[in-house]
């Protein structure tokens, strides 16, 4: 097939505008661009090949993300929920877990572990996931974290997220090392948020939910900067604790917060 336009009659800029605007570049056109005597056109062909290679790699990565779900659905587990949490390490705020059941055939470009995504990518994925998937949030409060310890509070958040689903899962896939306290078959996957689609989706939902909560707390306690550091022990956050003390949102059982309280007591006349 000959190209739909005369390559030689077009400048490099005109060719670039036409070809880059195409949804899909015919391989024969790409070969013709690569044989063009003009160096700029050949560079355009190289860019297009690199772009196609990146797109193919991303498509393969996304296909691989669903491998765990496909394998277990083939063994009769039709409804599979992915579970992940965010907020284990911060000095303030709740721990938030999400459980997500993705529908069959869903397309979620750029889906990945929330830690690998930009805030803009997470914000774009969040409504796509929640619009078509069964999703549930479970939280453990600061008071529960201090009373139970962070591990048990995290498991409590997992349990609440799973039990809050509108559908009962046949199998639960959990990121990390610990099973949830629910009477449902489970598979615990280390780094599951980077290797399993439903867990990755849960990581995005949990992250966006908690970040928005911390932004609200940031307006309530503006001197602490919760909206920026999300409660993690940054230099700015520790300095704010030193200057202003702790809020009801701080985890008093955590070493950094407890050490600060003890130092205050020692300085009291």
What pLDDT shows up at residue 200?
Answer: 98
Average pLDDT for 141-147: 98
What pLDDT shows up at residue 202?
Answer: 98
pLDDT one-digit tens code per residue, 80-130:
999 999 999 999 999 999 999 999 889 999 999 999 999 999 999 999 999
Q: Is the pTM of this model over 0.85?
A: no
Of the candidates 180, 134, 172, 136, the one whose C-alpha atom is nearest the C-alpha of residue 156 is 180
Look at the block and give the residue holding tokens 């992940």: 84
pLDDT one-digit tens code per residue, 154-197:
999 999 999 999 999 999 999 999 999 999 999 999 999 999 99
The DSSP string of 148-195 is H-HHHHHHHHHHHHHHT-SS--SEEEEESS---SSSS-EEEETTHHHH
CA angle at 41 for the pair 35 and 44, rounded to the nearest 5°: 110
pLDDT one-digit tens code per residue, 197-231:
999 999 999 999 999 999 999 999 999 999 999 99
Measured in whole angstroms, the distance separating CA 47 from the mean position of its chain's CA atoms is: 29
**φ and ψ at residue 114, rounded to 5 degrees:** -55, -30
What pLDDT shows up at residue 132?
Answer: 95
Mean pLDDT of the chain: 91
Indicate whether 265 pLDDT > 50: no
pLDDT band at 3 (very low <50, low <70, confident <90, very high): low
**φ and ψ at residue 90, rounded to 5 degrees:** -60, 160
What pLDDT shows up at residue 268?
Answer: 41
């Amino acid at each position: 097939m000959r190209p739909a336009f005369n390559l030689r009659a077009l400048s490099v800029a005109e060719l670039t505008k036409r070809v880059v605007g195409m949804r899909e570049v015919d391989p024969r056109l790409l070969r013709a661009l690569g044989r063009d005597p003009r160096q700029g056109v050949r560079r355009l062909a190289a860019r297009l090949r690199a772009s196609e290679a990146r797109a193919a790699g991303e498509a393969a990565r996304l296909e691989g993300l669903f491998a765990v779900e496909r394998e277990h659905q083939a063994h009769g587990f039709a409804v599979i929920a992915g579970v992940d949490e965010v907020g284990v390490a911060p000095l303030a705020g709740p721990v938030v877990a999400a459980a997500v059941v993705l529908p069959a055939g869903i397309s979620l470009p750029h889906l990945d572990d929330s830690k690998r995504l930009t805030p803009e990518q997470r914000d774009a994925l969040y409504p796509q996931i929640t619009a078509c998937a069964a999703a549930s949030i479970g939280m453990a409060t600061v008071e529960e974290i201090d009373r139970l310890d962070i591990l048990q509070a995290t498991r409590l958040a997992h349990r609440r997220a799973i039990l809050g689903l509108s559908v009962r899962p046949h199998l639960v896939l959990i990121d990390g090392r610990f099973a949830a306290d629910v009477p449902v078959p489970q598979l615990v996957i280390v780094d599951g948020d980077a290797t399993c689609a439903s867990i990755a989706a849960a990581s995005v939902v949990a992250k966006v939910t908690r970040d928005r909560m911390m932004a609200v707390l940031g307006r309530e306690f503006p001197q602490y900067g919760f909206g920026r550091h999300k409660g993690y022990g940054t230099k700015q956050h520790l300095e704010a604790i030193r200057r202003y003390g702790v809020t009801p949102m701080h985890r008093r059982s955590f070493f950094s917060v407890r050490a600060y309280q003890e130092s205050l007591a020692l300085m009291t006349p």
